[in-house]
A = this chain, B = another copy of it.
């Protein structure tokens, strides 16, 4: 088979860089272009020295129309509001698009505009775009032209809660997701909020009741249960580079017991390479998924409170961004879904 020719647009952010690394390790891919607004003309390995002796590519600017003619797939790793301006029908006729940003994730233009406080510039594509959570939308992904790769918190939250909604096991409006993320989630742009001494040795909640991944989680879980649900999502900034842990709470429906719960999760994940249900009594830890595309899920039922507590752990830059994008690409091009993604995580890392 010919190699898939790929371009990464916005390759010098953390997600773009992680994707670049994964694609260099992928047997079926040839990276044709790395683009960067800030570093046009510079050698990629001078920006990210981990690529010394690995990559000789120089970053170019991002003329999507031209790039689209030359490659089989374009990955977009851009701030929100830009992709919806850049993508058009001609591009989609020339190449596949996997967008790691937020612009095509929400089906409802109004919800997008109300949470993102910005206009959406290609609402006509919202319906066509497929939400790229492979474990849920696998079949549509295979046939898509435009894939909206899910957010990091979103991926972890949805995969942790999906069987509860799908199988109707909980009070659907009782859900609370208390999520903790490493600092790479905030990207590479500098600011006091990510200054070493301000982040190190401290933890905080932020964007309570207002984080933009909330409607994305609600959209997918509403879809799973077949009615509109609302939930509480709270992100936290944790003093570590990588990883998301989502601690999810829900009130069990009358008559639902531990066995029903476990059965539902086993059934849902039985053919899923990247979902690992941890043994009973074991707590997922972000260290065990670091560097991998796995999500580790632990289930706990509290008979005193009748709550189910689910904890899910992912690597925010892999299953929460670049790894999932590769998984989507694998599906799109009909190769093994786990190609380039199946490895034991590096530990301690």
**Interface set of A (CB-CB < 8 Å, partner B):** 14, 17-18, 20-21, 24-25, 46, 48-55, 173, 176, 178, 180, 182-184, 188, 190-192, 194-206, 208-209, 230-232, 234, 236, 238-243, 245, 247, 249, 273, 276, 278-279, 282-292, 294, 296, 298, 300-302, 304-305, 307, 309, 311, 313, 342-349
Nearest B residue to A273 by beta-carbon distance?
A: B53
Known pairs A178-B247, A286-B204, A349-B291; A14 contacts B55 (CB<8 A): no
**18 more A-B residue pairs beyond the given contacts A49-B296, A52-B296, A54-B343, with a C-beta to C-beta distance below 8 A:** A24-B343, A46-B279, A50-B287, A50-B288, A50-B345, A52-B294, A184-B197, A188-B195, A194-B195, A194-B197, A201-B241, A201-B348, A204-B311, A209-B301, A209-B307, A232-B305, A346-B346, A349-B349
Do B236 and A247 touch (CB < 8 A)? yes
Do A203 and B55 touch (CB < 8 A)? no
Chain B residues with CB under 8 Å of A304's CB are 209, 230
A21 vs B288: C-alpha distance when bound (angstroms): 13
Do B307 and A198 touch (CB < 8 A)? no
Count copies of this chain in the complex.
4
A313 vs B190: C-alpha distance when bound (angstroms): 26
Q: In the complex, how many angstroms separate the beta carbon of A341 from the nearest chain B beta carbon?
A: 11
A311 vs B348: C-alpha distance when bound (angstroms): 24
A283 vs B236: C-alpha distance when bound (angstroms): 10
A290 vs B241: C-alpha distance when bound (angstroms): 14
Nearest B residue to A345 by beta-carbon distance?
A: B50
Q: In the complex, how many angstroms separate the beta carbon of A161 from the nearest chain B beta carbon?
A: 15
Do B209 and A300 touch (CB < 8 A)? yes
A224 vs B161: C-alpha distance when bound (angstroms): 34
Q: Which of A17, A21, A196, A307 has the most CB of B within 10 A?
A: A196
Chain B residues with CB under 8 Å of A14's CB are 197, 348
Do A349 and B241 touch (CB < 8 A)? yes
A48 vs B290: C-alpha distance when bound (angstroms): 13
Chain B residues with CB under 8 Å of A183's CB are 196-197, 200
Chain B residues with CB under 8 Å of A282's CB are 49
A206 vs B298: C-alpha distance when bound (angstroms): 11
Known pairs A290-B201, A309-B208; A52 contacts B346 (CB<8 A): no
Nearest B residue to A318 by beta-carbon distance?
A: B346
Q: In the complex, how many angstroms separate the beta carbon of A8 from the nearest chain B beta carbon?
A: 13
Do A236 and B343 touch (CB < 8 A)? no
